[in-house]
């Protein structure tokens, strides 16, 4: 009798509890699949402030007469050169409820000090005294979206950079100048140079070089008074480049297609196929020649180093070439030159610098040319 009953139970199939268990596993699997496919969209949506920029109340404006408004203020390395360096940092604030980050945001400031300053301001430390303003930067979300709200938030940050620059000029009325910006910072410095420096003969005479790093700059927007650098012995010119790894043609296409550049009214508009500037930081030239890895001066991962500490450098790591308005480079071989961190961190500027020593040498060469010039 028991044998018959057991056989009958097996013919009935899974119980209700078993079916619920199977359904639960299937539901979990479906959720994991959806998250895997649309994870980027989900995380991007979480950074959206969800309010129009026109009704947005931004954080208070910085007071550049105070030390708190500066991440670096007149910092000078031992035996540094005579230049005054104005450095504008890249995006460090992720977003969420704010279109523009407050200057006292703890996580953004920690990322600035841990990653951006040692890797990307570091190459200028030997040239002179560096000042880096904190500013109400456009959030990471504004870099991931082309909507009008994002463009307005990015343009909003310019007023802080202009105010910081004017305050900085009061402390450095005579020194040779190096202006540098990375990613969002490069975008803002490009406008500053065109609208404020190129129109002032006294400032132009003081200009040793401009560095617009990891930013697409349209060639037809450069001022004739401050052109792209043609040789490393030239001063008063612009070194601009947007790096993309060789073989990443889709990334290169997207980089140019999604690039936003300034118009005459201070708005960010599409590049729309216009030629972009590329000066190879390894050679300091814009000739488009293929540059072998043996000429590469040195890459580093300085993340986590205290400001002023000298990082270890790796020379002959990558080959480079300016091509199609972008700086194409071979893939670095070392594991330390790989993207790491959270989803958001991997969409910010690199947590290493492939051209640390190249930019350092370039800045010193242009500063030396400025100092040696008989008349400016």
Confidence band for 289, pLDDT divided at 50, 70 and 90: very high
Distance of alpha carbon 188 from alpha carbon 123, whole angstroms: 19
Q: If you count them, how many residues does the chain have?
A: 376
H or E element at residue 88:
strand 83-88
158 three-class SS: helix
Output the pLDDT for position 63.
98
CB 206 within 8 A of CB 177: yes
Output the pLDDT for position 35.
44
CB 183 within 8 A of CB 349: yes
Enter the pTM of the model.
Answer: 0.90
Nearest to 286 by CA among 246, 326, 231: 231
Distance of alpha carbon 311 from alpha carbon 108, whole angstroms: 23
Output the pLDDT for position 339.
87
What value does the mean pLDDT of the chain take?
92
Output the pLDDT for position 88.
99
Confidence band for 6, pLDDT divided at 50, 70 and 90: very low
Q: How far, in whole angstroms, is CA 371 from its chain's centroid?
A: 30
pLDDT in tens, 76-117: 999 999 999 999 999 999 998 999 999 999 999 999 999 999
Q: Given a cut of 90, is residue 20 above it in pLDDT?
A: no
pLDDT in tens, 300-326: 999 999 999 999 999 999 999 999 999
DSSP string, 280-297: BTTTTB-S---B-GGG--
Distance of alpha carbon 212 from alpha carbon 180, whole angstroms: 6
Q: Which residues contact 248 (CB under 8 A, 6 or more apart)?
A: none
Q: Measured between alpha carbons, how far is residue 203 from residues 61, 87, 166, 206, 242 in Å?
A: 26, 16, 12, 5, 26
Output the pLDDT for position 260.
98
CB 102 within 8 A of CB 136: yes
Output the pLDDT for position 45.
77
Distance of alpha carbon 178 from alpha carbon 352, whole angstroms: 22
292 three-class SS: coil
- Calculate mean pLDDT across residues 197-220: 98
**What region does 298 belong to: left with phi over 0, alpha with psi -120 to 50, or beta?**
left
Distance of alpha carbon 189 from alpha carbon 229, whole angstroms: 16
CB 239 within 8 A of CB 212: yes
pLDDT in tens, 23-50: 666 666 555 554 445 445 667 778 999 9
Q: How many CB atoms lie within 10 A of CB 287?
A: 11
- Calculate mean pLDDT across residues 141-169: 97
Q: How are beta strands 260-262 and 177-182 bridged, if at all? A: unpaired
Q: Given a cut of 60, is residue 132 above it in pLDDT?
A: yes
Q: Given a cut of 60, is residue 1 above it in pLDDT?
A: no
- Calculate mean pLDDT across residues 60-70: 98
Q: How far, in whole angstroms, is CA 176 from its chain's centroid?
A: 25
CB 49 within 8 A of CB 124: no
Output the pLDDT for position 44.
72
């Amino acid at each position: 009798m028991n044998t018959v009953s057991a056989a009958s139970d097996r013919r009935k199939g899974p119980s209700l509890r078993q079916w619920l268990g199977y359904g639960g596993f299937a539901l979990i699997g479906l959720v994991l699949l959806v998250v895997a496919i649309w994870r980027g969209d989900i995380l991007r949506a979480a950074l959206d402030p969800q309010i129009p920029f026109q009704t947005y109340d931004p954080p208070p404006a910085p007071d550049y007469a105070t030390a708190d408004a500066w991440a670096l203020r007149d910092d000078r390395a031992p035996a540094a050169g005579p230049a005054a360096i104005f450095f504008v940092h890249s995006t460090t604030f992720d977003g969420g409820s704010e279109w523009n980050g407050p200057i006292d945001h703890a996580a953004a400031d920690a990322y600035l000090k841990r990653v951006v300053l040692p890797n990307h301001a570091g190459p200028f430390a030997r040239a002179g005294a560096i000042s880096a303003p904190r500013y109400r930067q456009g959030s990471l979300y504004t870099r991931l979206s082309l909507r009008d709200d994002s463009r307005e938030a990015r343009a909003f940050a310019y007023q802080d950079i202009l105010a910081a620059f004017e305050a900085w000029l009061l402390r450095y009325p005579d020194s040779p100048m190096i202006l540098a910006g990375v990613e969002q910072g490069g975008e803002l410095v490009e406008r500053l140079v065109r609208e404020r420096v190129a129109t002032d003969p006294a400032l132009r005479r003081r200009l040793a070089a401009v560095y617009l790093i990891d930013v697409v700059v349209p060639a037809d927007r450069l001022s004739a008074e401050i052109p792209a650098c043609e040789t490393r012995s030239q001063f008063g010119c612009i070194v601009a480049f947007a790096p993309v790894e060789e073989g990443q043609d889709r990334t290169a296409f997207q980089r140019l297609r999604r690039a936003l550049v300034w118009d005459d009214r201070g708005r960010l508009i599409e590049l729309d196929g216009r030629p972009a500037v590329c000066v190879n930081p390894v050679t300091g030239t814009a000739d488009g020649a293929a540059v072998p890895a043996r000429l590469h001066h040195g890459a580093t991962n300085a993340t986590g180093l205290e400001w002023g500490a000298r990082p270890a450098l790796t020379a002959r790591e990558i080959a480079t070439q300016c091509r199609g308005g972008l700086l194409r480079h071979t893939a670095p071989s070392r594991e330390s030159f790989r993207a790491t961190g959270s989803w958001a961190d991997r969409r910010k500027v690199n947590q290493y610098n492939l051209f640390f020593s190249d930019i350092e040498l370039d800045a010193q060469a242009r500063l030396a040319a400025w100092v040696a010039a008989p008349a400016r």
